[in-house]
Amino acid sequence: MKVRAAVLEQFAEPLVVQELDLAEPRAGEALVRLQACGVCHTDMYTASGADPSGYAPTVLGHEGAGVVEAVGEGVSSLSVGDHVVTLFSPQCRECAHCLNPRTNLCLAIREQQNLGYLPDGTTRLSRAGEPIRHFMGTSTFCEYSVMPEIALAKVDPEAPPDRACLFACGLSTGLGAAMFTAGVTPGSTCVVFGAGMVGLGAVAGCRLREAGRIVCVDPSEPRRELARAQGATECWPADGHVVERVLELTKGFGADYTFEATGLVSVMAEAVAAARMGWGLSTIIGVAGKGETLDIVPRLLITGRRVCGSSFGGLKGRDQVPDLIQLYLQGQVEVDQFISHRMPLDEVNRAFELMARQDGIRSVLTFDGGA
């Protein structure tokens, strides 16, 4: 079939919206008609050429929601008409990691996915007979996409797709970091560094876990106000004195939980230093630049602080993303305020420009029926 897609032809150049050929799904795959797709920093990072593992040409996009149009042989968990959210972090439910509650890093298709291929080592996208590689196993900057069954979460059809798509990456990453990776406990003190999509999700996750105090740190006053709406009890500017303020707030001990959601190694160091001696846990969510390292004073660890990382919020996507969307449908998670701009696929490069200017939290591409 013919589909329109936004193709990364060359790094550091605008995406080109054009017509491609999309083959039918094979065994273990499903054809999805996209309805909405968030434009994430990871998409822009790859398009810039800064990602050492990036490749081109490819169809970017990984934060999608849509409807199953067809399924390949052997697909048992999805049917035509099901509403789904895409999963760049799949869940096969069979590998050693999927069977272990300590991680969500599924091993089943990781190697081929990282190379831009579907599990059988081929692509379904092509142009004039030449293969076009997939991105993060999803390629959602496209009207239709073929994806592995294990990279799709079946969700409640009552969830509007332009909201549901945010749970495909950014929002779930933040919520899960607080709720599942860190396991925030009731009454605790939490500090979240960064009030973008992921940081705001972490604030909401701390609230849902009934934290006693939730401090959000960000240089932008409008973003700090968004953090208040998500449940932050206090909002501070990023002025270089946050660690001292946290220690003052906690009688010199530090916060029970800290979360870094900026990707800046200097902020990661602050998050570690602001964690409580004895048992403080600092969760690193942001992705640092190529070659950057995090320096930690060993005494911070010797005196009881711990540091961990969180990928996709520790979520096992097929099982837990539907649960998070239910929290939204029940009114426990506010989603509308995250959507700053809606636009058609043809304006995908404008979405990147808005992101570069830090204009809003998330731009959402809407397809037919996406709003």
Q: Which of 37, 62, 216, 262 is catalytic?
A: 62
Q: Is 83 a catalytic residue?
A: no
Q: In 3-state terms, what secondary structure has residue 318?
A: helix
User: Which residue of the set 58, 83, 106, 260 is catalytic?
Assistant: 106
Structure tokens at 260: 């870094």
Determine which one of 95, 225, 228, 233 is catalytic.
Answer: 95
223 is catalytic: no
Sheet holding 16-22, edge to edge: 58-59, 2-8, 16-22, 125-127, 130-132
- Among candidates 263, 235, 225, which has minimal Cα distance to 271? 263
**Is 110 considered catalytic here?**
yes
The single residue of 37, 142, 165, 169 carrying the catalytic annotation is 169
Tell me if residue 37 is catalytic: no
Assess whether 244 carries a catalytic annotation: no
The one catalytic residue in 163, 165, 362, 366 is 362
Q: Is 92 a catalytic residue?
A: yes
Q: Which one is catalytic: 110, 245, 306, 342?
A: 110
Q: In what order do the strands lie in the sheet with 306-309?
A: 234-236, 213-217, 189-193, 257-260, 281-284, 306-309
Single out the catalytic residue among 29, 37, 83, 92.
92
Cα-Cα end-to-end distance for the chain: 24
b/e map 183-217, b = 16+ CB within 10 Å: ebeeebbbbbbbbbbbbbbbbbbbbbbebebbbbb
Of the residues 40, 190, 206, 235, which is catalytic?
40
Report whether 112 contacts 118 (CB < 8 A).
yes
The residue from 37, 42, 209, 262 that is catalytic is: 42
Residue 95 bears catalytic tag: yes
- Of 58, 83, 86, 98, which is the active-site residue? 98
Asked if 41 is an active-site residue, the reply is yes
The active-site residue out of 29, 63, 149, 270 is 63
Residue 63: active-site member: yes
Which residues are CB-neighbours of 151 under 8 A, at least 6 positions away? Answer: 86, 87, 88, 90, 109, 137, 138
Yes or no: say if 228 and 159 are a contact pair by the CB < 8 Å rule.
no
Catalytic, 98? Answer yes
Residue 363 phi/psi, 5-degree rounding, is -90, 140
Catalytic site positions: 40-42, 62-63, 92, 95, 98, 106, 110, 169, 362
